[in-house]
């Protein structure tokens, strides 16, 4: 069984490889109005607030994304990994009006690590790197998200669904579901 720590280690590790391989941080990203560095900024900023307000956990601040996106990401990913690797984290509960109460590792895995997975494609596309995602994970995420289509769409975090052929691969279907044009 994969733990939240193992999942984060693998998912953030792939994203870290893309961060290290990026050469143009001002390249347009698939998210409207964003450039490559904004993908990194988004993942750092929202997750810090998520655990701060939901679980009273303060992740250590790293360098500013604008000054050094690589160092900023590495510091952040390391802080999240240390949190997940700490056995005491299992007893911490995240409380959020939208999600209810969840053990912090489960909340991080469900919301943050999944977001890192989705934004891996965005950063890869923006920086001209390998865009392939794990097909089984794409299929599982899509299956879990489909029943929440209206709720997800109303959150404002996803663009309009893009139509793709019924026989499209799981990655294409997932990306289209979240509003990307694969």
Q: CA angle, 34 as apex, 112 and 127 as ends, to 5°?
A: 85
Closest to 109 in 3D by CA, of 165, 47, 180, 174: 47
pLDDT tens, per residue, the chain with 182 residues: 799 999 999 999 999 999 999 999 999 999 989 999 999 999 999 999 999 999 999 999 999 999 999 999 999 999 999 999 999 999 999 999 888 899 999 999 999 999 999 999 999 999 999 999 999 999 999 999 999 888 888 877 888 899 999 999 999 999 999 999 98
Domains and CATH numbers, the chain: 4-131 (1.20.120), 134-182 (no CATH)
């Amino acid at each position: 069984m994969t733990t939240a720590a193992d999942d984060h280690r693998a998912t953030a590790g792939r994203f870290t490889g893309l961060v290290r391989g990026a050469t143009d941080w001002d390249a347009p990203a698939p998210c409207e109005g964003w450039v490559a560095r904004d993908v990194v900024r988004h993942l750092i900023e929202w997750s810090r607030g998520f655990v701060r307000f939901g679980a009273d956990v303060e992740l250590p601040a790293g360098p500013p994304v604008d000054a050094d996106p690589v160092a900023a990401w590495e510091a952040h990913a390391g802080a999240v990994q240390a949190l997940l690797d700490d056995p005491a984290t299992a007893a911490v509960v995240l409380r959020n009006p939208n999600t209810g109460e969840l053990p912090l590792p489960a909340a991080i895995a469900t919301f943050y690590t999944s977001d890192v997975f989705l934004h891996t494609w965005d950063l890869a596309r923006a920086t001209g790197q390998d865009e392939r995602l794990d097909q089984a994970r794409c299929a599982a995420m899509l299956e879990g998200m489909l029943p929440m289509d209206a709720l997800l769409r109303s959150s404002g975090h996803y663009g309009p669904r893009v139509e793709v052929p019924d026989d499209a691969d799981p990655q294409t279907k997932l990306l289209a579901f979240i509003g990307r044009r694969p």
